[in-house]
Amino acid sequence: MALPDSNEGLARQDREFNTTHWSVVLAAADTASPGAEEALAQLCRNYWYPLYSFVRKNGHAAEEAKDLTQEFFARLLEKNFLQNAAPDKGRFRTFLLVALKRFLVNEWHWKRTLKRGGAQTLIALDATSAEEQYALEPVEDATPERIYERRWAEALLEQVLARLRKEAADACKGEQFAMLQPFLCGDTGAFSQAEIGVRLGLSPSAVKSAVYRLRERYRELLRGEVAHTLADPGDVEEELRHLRAALRS
């Protein structure tokens, strides 16, 4: 799944995300911002696999990578974690990678922590799913950083698709979504729009309108998801360009 092309007409939506998940977390660095802990936990749940893949690509075995990722989240969710790591805080993506690199450099401390009682399980990781995904990683000599950036973009798209899928299911349009999903980014899919119309009992114009609405909603949710990982929602367009490049790498 690729990211859709930019739609300048949606720029106004950036202003609707004056308070994003990441900005709430950043505010907690100096104040007891309400909802900050849950906002951070949600971001971690959404984007744990890019971190896991980075650790694995750095040469750690599956079980060790799982434990390291869990312990990293435990540290991250502790109080004053922002004061303990000082990377560029504008983008959650960048913050996590820099903080993870520093954590891995100090792996000896993690080993001491593990001996004292083991890594804390604060974010549930699906180790089986993680290894199934990691088995599909490219065999070429891609750097851990490139793998991380690519998996970040893919994780973000999966979050958007999951929301779209749920909205369709809630509206009793799950079958329609499944058949129209390939058209989100211009693909034709297994069936033409005319064939889909016959299967769903819709006119050609109704199918065309449904595809248009689905694409618009996709762009809206995508920009919202990206905005939630930024301190400044005005950076959405720049971040989208970065993510498109990551998917092409």
Q: Write the DSSP assignment of 101-161 as a string of letters.
A: HHHHHTHHHHHHHHHHH-----S---HHHHHHHHTTS-SS---HHHHHHHHHHHHHHHHHH
Residue 118 has pLDDT above 60, yes or no: no
CA 74 to chain centre: 19
CA distances (Å), 186 to each of 1, 4, 157, 220, in order?
10, 8, 15, 17
Of 43 and 180, which is predicted with more confidence?
A: 180
Of 155 and 1, which is predicted with more confidence?
A: 155
In a domain, 2, yes or no: no
Residue 134 has pLDDT above 80, yes or no: no
For the chain, strand residue ranges (E) read none
Instruction: Name the pLDDT band for 24 (thresholds 50, 70, 90).
Output: confident
Instruction: Name the pLDDT band for 11 (thresholds 50, 70, 90).
Output: very low
Nearest-10 crossing angle of helices 62-76, 127-134: 120
pTM of the model: 0.79
In a domain, 175, yes or no: yes
Of 147 and 21, which is predicted with more confidence?
A: 147
Mean pLDDT of 177-191: 82
Q: How many domains does the chain have?
A: 1
What is the pLDDT, as a whole number, of residue 86?
Answer: 47
CA-closest candidate to residue 22, choices 240, 174, 227: 227
CA-closest candidate to residue 72, choices 39, 46, 97: 97
Residue 38 structural domain: 8-248
Share of the chain above pLDDT 70, in %: 70
Of 183 and 90, which is predicted with more confidence?
A: 183
Q: How far apart are alpha carbons 67 and 175 in whole angstroms?
A: 39
Of 22 and 122, which is predicted with more confidence?
A: 22
In a domain, 1, yes or no: no
Span of 30-39, 81-90, 164-173 with lowest mean pLDDT: 81-90
Q: How far apart are alpha carbons 166 and 172 in whole angstroms?
A: 10
In a domain, 149, yes or no: yes
Residue 22 has pLDDT above 90, yes or no: no
In a domain, 3, yes or no: no
In a domain, 180, yes or no: yes
